[in-house]
Amino acid sequence: MRFSTVIAAAFLVFAAIPAALAQSGTQKVQIELNKLEPQANACRAYLVLQNGTESTFGSLRLDIVAFDTDGIVAKRLAVEAAPLPPGKTSLKLFDMSELSCEGIGHLLLNSILACADQNGEREDCLNLTDVSAKPGLRLIK
């Protein structure tokens, strides 16, 4: 094998690596806990979702668990975050009745209860999500 052929083959392999890494990093649904706001007899949570995938989610039902400041489970909710088109940023609100915002220590994205895109049901949706929170708030996975 000629030296120039080896160099050309190596160049093609190494040239593809950054593109593959960049693509894998953008193929996520980002979920940010943006704000908690007191309501009458409830705490309202604001989630900002960014769909960095190429999928249109017609169903994305999140299993959210609220823990109190002592780490004890306070409430469990199912929150529908769809519809979520590709490349779209969306705001989803949900109320946690009979909980004060001051009493919430953190939220947990426990699982994805339902997830479907234009091709049908998906099994990889929890792996497709990354979570974050604004300072002073906590959302974990």
Specify the CATH architecture of the domain 28-140.
Sandwich (2.60)
pLDDT tens-digit readout, 70-83? 999 999 999 999 99
Looking at residue 26, its pLDDT comes to 56
Looking at residue 4, its pLDDT comes to 45
Its pTM stands at: 0.80
**How far from chain centre, in Å, is Cα 140?**
10
Burial of 132 (C-beta count, 10 Å sphere; 0-12/13-18/19+): middle
- Calculate Rg over the CA atoms of the chain: 20
Flag whether pLDDT at 1 surpasses 70. no
User: Can you give the residue ranges of every domain in the chain?
Assistant: 28-140
Q: How far apart are CA 89 and CA 91, in angstroms?
A: 7
